[in-house]
Every structure is written in C-alpha cells, then in structure tokens.
Structure 1
C-alpha cells in the first residue's frame, strides 16, 4: 500500500499511468521508482524495459551500472553523422555507450587484449547484454583473407536493428590515432567480402582503456568508414574501503591452522 501511495503521488497523470507505466510489470515500476529520482530518466527506463523485455534483475543491473548516463548523456566520439545516412547514423549513436562496463570479467593488472577478449567470449550472454539490443555474435579473432594475407578481427557482430556488421577492436591502453586506421581497413575488408547488397555500411567500434576526446575526434575526422571510440571499464571485485574491512587470505589461513 505504501508503494501504491508513492506511485500515485509520483505519477499523478492518469494517461501516463495507463499508457507508459502499464507497459511493464509492477515490480519493475517499483524498482524504477526506488532507484531513479529524475522523472525523465524514469520514463526512459520504462520505455527501454518494455522495448527490450528486461527481467527485474537485468533492469536493476542497468540502472546501477548507469546505463542512462552512459548511453544518453555520454559525450560520444564518432564520425557517424558524416559517414552514415540518416536514420542509421542517429540509431548508431543511440546504440553506443561510453564507457562500456565489463564488470563480469575477473580483474588482473597485467591483462592483455587477448585475455579480455577471451573473457568476454566465455560469458557471451553478459557481453551481448552490455553491448546492447539487436546484436548477434559472429565470432572472435574472425579470420579475413585479404589479397592472400591473413587478418583477424577481435570481435565481429551483426546488428539486426542497424542491418549491418559491427567490428569491435579492443585495446588495453590509451587510444592512439593509428588504431582508427587499422579499424578503417578492417571495415573495408568486411564491406568488400561479407557485406551483401541489402546490408547497410559496416560500423567500427574501438574500445580503449582510456581516450583523449580531442585526439580521437581529430583521428576520425578524415577516416572514410563510420567509427566510434569508447572507453571500457573492468571493475575490480571490491571497493577499497570494503576490501580493507575483510580478512586477507593470510589471516584466513592462520585461523584455519
């Protein structure tokens, strides 16, 4: 009854209740009511829940990972508006996030690109959840033979909403301008070998540990293929303040002895 009273207070508009909030289950409405304070964000999460069919747990994960801030408010670095026709360019920008959060990957300080890639592929269901709606995973280290030379794409997807191939390259360090050139080549190869007449132009996404937005923008300015640059985060298991409160492995071993 308390939740119902709060719901009625927050959403006094009868038409909104009947047409918008009615699209999702009551438990989802309560989760959004409790965890999201901004009215515009509430409407966005309601619409995305209805659009994607998120379960209660997935909805909470999306809210707690700041999906709205990463997908709607993020200062995204792309050349999509110059390299893609409308409305594909707008949809591609909306699909992107910055940063991507791969918090399901066990964190190590010395992780290499291949380690991250393999960890993503091992839990491809969670990878697809984070990458977004409409993505079909086609493979990692996807082999392309160009002029007799072998090349390997880190991650290859097809997006059913965008109707195009999406090439993702992972980099463990800062963004560098030469990464855009490499991805531009991969996109040319995919468009020349895999793309069919009914497909839209392929899109590239560079995922780096960090980036300088100005450097990234200049790097994409004269690139011929549509490319976006985003950061990714791999959270270590526990916050520092909580980790300090827990016993170390050595302490536990001493107690067992």
Structure 2
C-alpha cells in the first residue's frame, strides 16, 4: 500500500468510536422526533376535542381536515380521518400536560394507540405504558402482555419473601414473580410428565424468557448438584441480572404438595453452597404447579427458611386422540366450503321461478 494511503495508528479505534457516537445520536434524534410527534398529535387532539364539544362540529370535519392538510403537506403520513380520531382520544384520555410530558410523550405513537385501543380504564392504561417504558417493550410485546393480562398476574405468587428476604429485596422479588404463568405457547398431551413439559419450554426458550420477564438469563436445565456423592438435578436454573442471584425453578404436574417445598429448599441450600459467589444474593426458588391450595402453601412455606414462591401455570392441552378423530380436518372443512360456494353460484345462474 502506498504510504499516502496507509492508515495512521489509532484510526480504527477512532472509527469505531465515531460509529458508536453516530448511532447514539441517531437514536436520540429518533426519540426526539417521536416525542415531538406525540406532542403535536396531542395538541391537535386537544383543539379538536374542544371544538367538537363547544361548537358542535361533526365527524365529517375529520375528512375535510385530512384532505386539506394532505394537500398542504403531500407525502406526510399521519393526517388521516382515523388518526384524527386517535388524536382526540389521546387528548381526552390524558388531558393533563404533566403526565403527557412524563409518560405519554416518552413512548412512540404506536404504543399509545395499542393501549388506547385495547384498554378502557385509565389506571390500567398507565400501568402498561409505565411497564413498556421501563422494560423497553416493542409494540408486539406490549400487545402480547396486554392479551395475557399481565397486570393481574404480576406479584401474585404465594411466597415467604417478606420473612426470608430483607426489604426492599423482598418487594422486588415478589413483583418479579407471576401467578399464573402463561405457557399457552406450549401444547402438550393431557398425560404429559414434568420432563415433557420441561423439554417443550426449552424448545420455546425465547417465549419462556419473555413470559418470565426482563432480567432473567437462562443457565441450564437438569443442572446437576452433587452433595456427599449423590447427584440431584435442578429442572430449570436462571440467573437474574438485576437482583444478582440464581432462581431455581421446579416444575410439577398436578397440585402443589408440601414435600415439593422441602425438596426445593434443599436445592437452594446446595446452590448457595456450591455455585453462589460472595457478591451474589441468596438464591430464590420458584415452584410451578398446575394448581395449589393457599392454606397448604402457607403452612408448607412456614417451615422453610429459604425464599420460595409458588405459582401456577397454564399450558395448551391437546385433545384426546379419540376426540381428534371425530373432529373434521382442515381439508374436510375446505371441501364443505368449496361445495357450498359451488351450489350458491349455481343457484345465482339459474333463472327465477316465473310460474
């Protein structure tokens, strides 16, 4: 390479630094544009709402306004009759400028639309918007969490955390757990065993991590623990990067039994003795059962001096084979539909009864 084309020392380091700086600036610019767009839409919606209320404007004004603004700003998206209705809905849902600045404008327009469309009461809307902002949910993830009614499940596990963990760690750990867990992405037979469900969860690991929530990192399944020459196996082991501790998940088919808590407590002691480092907090156990009795769980956890939570889970159950055989297949249904279409077309072509 000619000397004039040789790159000076440190050039590649500077190049990488500039690339990172430019990407950061692009993200900030995108966020700024998104924020200004939401603020603009809110202000338009506020004005429209006031005019509709005080001057009796009708819905047809949306079409005329859309036409005039599109003519003035050709190629600019967002000025449609449908979007004007959303602008009004946004302004009427959040009339206070304070919450607009602190929450609503910090999220993209699409996130706000999903919440407006799918949730009617204000407290629940705020709950999902704050969660989306905190955890960085995409629109698809936000919709998924709304469909699964996450706000009704988060923090609902039965635990002994208030006794076994110091505040505020106990409160944080309780909020991390859910009840029930929604594993509907997993389809199993009615007679499925724990290992079959476990294998299914591993196949759908991405969905499992999404359902567990932000902060969980997968460590392994059937993780061996050797104590005094005997080897025991943990169903699912995770590490929580925000709480800096291991989470030991034990999966059970059927109802919770008191002996489940004792076995999980043993696993927690073994993990703390063999895997935990001095900078990490005490490990937490989670029992996942198909059903549980509140009093039985409460009595069982009373005797355990390790932090344990008990939650239920849902899976999609396959129909029994005899029932599956009785149901029509997709091909059968398509054949019936095609036959009906043919008969309808034939009737349309036939002349009417003139008698």
TM-score, L = length of structure 2: 0.67
Q: Does 1:101 align with 2:182?
A: yes
Provide the aligned length of Structure 1 versus Structure 2: 249
Alpha carbons of 1:30 and 1:250: their partners in 2 closer, same or farther (altered >3 Å)?
closer
Equivalence for 1:158: 239
Equivalence for 1:133: 214
Equivalence for 2:37: none
Q: Does 1:221 align with 2:221?
A: no
Q: 1:11 aligns with which of 81, 88, 94?
A: 94
Equivalence for 1:46: 129
How far the C-alpha of 1:30 sits from its partner, in A, is: 0.8
Alpha-carbon distance between aligned partners in 1 of 2:124 and 2:289, rounded to the nearest angstrom: 27
How far the C-alpha of 1:28 sits from its partner, in A, is: 0.6
**Range moving further from structure 2, 37-46 or 187-196:** 37-46
How far the C-alpha of 1:107 sits from its partner, in A, is: 3.0
Equivalence for 2:348: none
* 3-state SS in 2 of match to 1:105: strand
Structure 1 residue runs without a partner (length 5+): 239-246
How far the C-alpha of 1:254 sits from its partner, in A, is: 10
Q: Does 1:209 align with 2:297?
A: no
TM-score, L = length of structure 1: 0.92
Higher strand share: 1
Alignment check: 8 A CA contact 2:190 2:317 kept = no
Alpha-carbon distance between aligned partners in 2 of 1:31 and 1:251, rounded to the nearest angstrom: 35
* 3-state SS in 2 of match to 1:44: helix
Equivalence for 1:198: 279
Q: 2:332 aligns with which of 241, 252, 256?
A: 252
Equivalence for 2:151: 68
Higher helix share: 2
Question: Which of structures 1 and 2 has the larger relative contact order (alpha carbons within 8 angstroms, sep 6+)?
Answer: 1
Structure 2 residue runs without a partner (length 5+): 1-83, 320-326, 337-355
